[in-house]
Amino acid sequence: MIRASRDGDQDAFAALVRQHQRRVFRLAGRFFRRPEEVEEVAQETFLRAWMKLGTYRADAPFEHWLTRLCLRCSYDRLRQGKNEPEALEEDVESPAADPDARMEVAKLLAHLPPADRFVLVLLDGEGWSVAEIAERLGWTQVNVKVRAHRARKRLRRLLEEG
């Protein structure tokens, strides 16, 4: 399918999309609340995949390559501020014992810069290590460590002030 897609076969690419779309939606749904945002990021991911298929080397699984594209699309969108961070947690589900406290913390988190939240979601949400984030995003480990340090510092300040 990948080879046929690379040769311009759009039916093969559609099959490739169907095979991986749930993973891409799930990952995009980590960062964006509104369904249309999630779909736009997924579309952008597959569009980039189509344009860059020629650069894919089969030495790594296709899922990893696609994950990287999706993470970069999400990161770019967050950095551009296209999402609505202030509305991010308005209707957050509250299964915790103290829903008010959880809502309060969710609102605090909405004040984090998007780049910080992105790194914290990967570290604390996905549970990825620094090495895994570096590998999946194509960043250096030092870069990830610096970003994680800054993000945690801001999170701590928010929680202390809140």
What's the closest the beta carbon of residue 123 comes to another protein, in angstroms?
A: 8
Q: Which of residues 53-112 bind another protein (CB under 8 A)?
A: 88-89, 92-93, 96, 101-102, 105-106, 108-109
**Residues in 6-45 at the binding interface with another protein, rule: CB under 8 A:** 8, 10, 13-15, 17-18, 21-22, 25-26, 28-35, 38-39, 42-43
The verdict on 124 binding another protein (CB under 8 A) reads yes
Rounded CA separation 147/144 (Å): 5
Q: Which residue matches tokens 């076969």?
A: 9
Work out how close the CB of 139 gets to another protein at its nearest, in angstroms, rounded to a whole number. 19
Size of the site for another protein (CB under 8 A): 49
For residue 162, how far is the Cα from the chain centroid?
26
159 binds another protein (CB under 8 A): yes
144 is a site residue for another protein (CB under 8 A): no
Which residues, in sequence order, are CB contacts of 82 under 8 Å at separation 6+?
37
Cα distances from 61 to residues 58, 64, 130, in angstroms, run 7, 6, 20
If we measure between CA atoms, which residue out of 157, 159, 82, 145 comes closest to residue 114? 82
> How does 39-73 read in b/e, with b if 16+ C-beta sit within 10 Å?
ebbbebbbebbeeebeebeeeeebeebbbbbbbbb
Interface residues with another protein (CB under 8 A) are: 8, 10, 13-15, 17-18, 21-22, 25-26, 28-35, 38-39, 42-43, 46-47, 50-51, 88-89, 92-93, 96, 101-102, 105-106, 108-109, 117, 120-121, 124-125, 152, 155-156, 159-160, 162
